[in-house]
Amino acid sequence: MIALIVARADNGVIGLDGKMPWHIPADLKRFKALTMGKPMIMGRKTFESLPGLLPGRRHIVLTRDTKWSALEAETVHDVTEALALAGDDVAIIGGAEIYRLLLPNADRIELTEVHLSPAGDTMLQDFGPEWQETARETHDTHDFVTLERKD
């Protein structure tokens, strides 16, 4: 199972200055539950934006920079290498370019729809008609949505 784990505002914003421009504790709790025990594939900027290593998860960093490395991360330079290293059950956690690169390989999208329209410098638009909503949990400030690829 390859799952994209995404939080996106109503206007498509997913980041501002390397951070999410909102703080929703329930989303952080859901992120932890969805990623715990799994390898996570992320871009270099996403890795560098983390507050530190996330316990109980492998950190696979997909970067074009062949000179970049971090002791705490497994570094790869293409999608095929990232997926081979991750195995069968993986969480894709961003950023925008990594989501776009791995979307064709994804089976599921775990989306937090954030009901804001904040300023941002990183955008992620709709995923396309090949996805269908299979679950929704509605809250005041956000919805948790599961999308699965249509057969």
How far is the C-alpha of 129 from the C-alpha of 69, rounded, in Å? 37
Region 113-125: mean pLDDT is 96
Cα distance between residue 98 and residue 105, in whole Å: 11
Give me the domain span that covers residue 16: 2-149
- Total domains in the chain come to 1
Alpha carbons 30 and 25: distance in angstroms, whole number:
9
Task: Decide if pLDDT at 71 tops 90.
Answer: no
pLDDT at 151 exceeding the cut of 90: no
Question: Which CATH number do you get for residue 116?
Answer: 3.40.430.10
3-state helix, strand, coil in the chain (%, to 5): 25, 35, 40
The answer, as to whether pTM is greater than 0.75, is yes
State the average pLDDT for the chain: 96
